[in-house]
Amino acid sequence: MNVELIQYTPDPEKVIAAAARLCYSPDPVPELLERLDDEKVADFVQKLRSMGHLSPFEHISFQFSIDGVSRALSHQLVRHRIASYSQRSQRYVKESGFEFVTPPSIRKNPQALERFERIMNTLQEEYQALLEAAPAEDARYILPNACTTSLMATFNARSLMNFFEHRTCMRAQWEIRILAERMLELVREVAPNVFGQAGPTCVTQGVCHEGAMSCGRIKVLKR
């Protein structure tokens, strides 16, 4: 998996602070931006977060390049609908000799790994054979969820915080949890006051909403 933050709103935290101050000021945004220093911005952004006043966070966005993840992951990722996605098309890009993601539970089991890799090799051969008789848009029907893909994803900060809340949870599927953790590391570097407290609710709020399905982490955190 390779994840890169390729672009984001310049001075993201300052933009949030200016957007929030605009609601209570007669001055236009450029003047508000000029009067904001780093200390004021940090305090204001943290205050907004603690108050749950998150609409100003929608004014900043972050674009990610995501490569080497499975189609199984991408199907989960696009369920986060307040975001924009572009994905490599299996209709137009042939997947000859496709790469695939091997789950850890299979990798550590020699018998399961041997079977899994044999199936992948068979699918690669059959896909290549189908390309001789059918267009790629039809041959792709036999491609597995394990097949790797590439995406560009753009989130605003509020949507990202929701994404991190759900996908850094230990109940999230392992691959998308790794993706979320890496994305969180990247955005914390450029907007620490926005994302410093981002994560699963057991960490950020001291509560778990998983009920009987809870991983038990909340009990450890409360000790």
Q: Is 79 exposed, middle or buried, given 0-12, 13-18 or 19+ CB atoms closer than 10 A?
A: exposed
- 8 Å CB contact between 59 and 16: yes
Task: Give the active site residue among 167, 177, 182, 188.
Answer: 167
DSSP string, 77-121: HTT--SEEEEE--TTTS--TT--B---HHHHT-HHHHHHHHHHHH
In this structure, the dihedral spanned by the alpha carbons of residues 5, 11, 16 and 20, taken in order and rounded to 10 degrees, is: -170
Helix (H) or strand (E) holding 47: helix 38-51
Q: Longest Cα pair distance anywhere in the chain, in angstroms?
A: 69
Helix (H, G, I), strand (E, B) or coil at 163: helix
Query: Which of 147, 169, 138 minimizes the C-alpha distance to 68?
Result: 147
- Residue 167 annotated in active site: yes
Reading the block at residue 125, the tokens are: 């051969």
Phi, psi angles (nearest 5°) of residue 183: -65, -40
Report d(CA 197, CA 104) in Å as an integer. Answer: 29
- Known catalytic residues? 167
